[in-house]
Amino acid sequence: MRSTRMNNVLMACLTVAVLVITGCATGPKVRSDAAANVNFSGFKTFAFMPEPATDKAGYATLVTQHFKDAISAEMAALGYQYSESNADLLVNFNSNVETRTDVRSMPAATIHYGYYNYRRGIYAGFPLYANDVDTIRYKYGTVNIDVVDAARKQLIWEGISEGTLKKSDLENPKQAIAEVVGLIFQQYPTRQVIAQP
């Protein structure tokens, strides 16, 4: 009987833990902002800023190349052509990964037998309720993509993605970058226009 009650308590705690973890396992949050009164379909060509924000070390990183590949594919799908010189639009991007810590408290029930061993396991006392506290560390990533009107040197669109990074994201950054860039560009102003027949 004692083991059955303990199993029930353990199952209840595990169910709560799974629900808490599942609730946090949503996709990244994506948002964007566009300048008013800008005709995005009037631009034809794009290029990248000479020193993207991901090149902080003074040389082109692999992360920079992954972003350029993914952004170039999205811009081409929108009808823009890459132009090394005199581009209508300049694209800049940045990414940041930080370690975050969450302290989570979950209810737990225990049955104390010390003094109460006279019950000899035939029946149990009332459970004692307390909170189990867990410290969870995880990686949280932010990606920014800026599109600038090159002639006016003015930001005309910004896309941002924020979310918890999975282990697979860290192990395969090229694929993770391509996926998040694709999500961000779903909010690009001309996306709906291009999608129409």
Domains plus CATH for the chain? 28-104+136-195 (3.30.160.670)
> Distance of alpha carbon 179 from its chain centroid, rounded?
11
The pLDDT value given to residue 67: 96
- Evaluate if residue 195 carries a pLDDT over 50: no
CB atoms within 10 A of CB 188: 21
The backbone torsions φ and ψ at residue 8, rounded to the nearest 5 degrees and listed phi first, read -65, -45
Q: Which of 9-13, 78-82, 132-136, 166-170 is predicted least confidently?
A: 9-13
Q: What is the DSSP string of 52-103?
A: -TT-TTSS--HHHHHHHHHHHHHHHHTT-EE-SSS-SEEEEEEEEEEEEEEE
Residues of the chain with pLDDT > 70: what percent? Answer: 71
Identify which has the larger pLDDT, 96 or 111. 96
Average pLDDT over residues 111-116: 53
Q: Which range is least confidently modeled, 26-40, 74-88, 92-106?
A: 92-106
Q: How far apart are CA 62 and CA 64, in angstroms?
A: 5
Tell me the pLDDT band of 114, cut-offs 50, 70 and 90.
Answer: low
Cβ contact 76:82 at 8 Å: yes
pTM of the complete model: 0.69
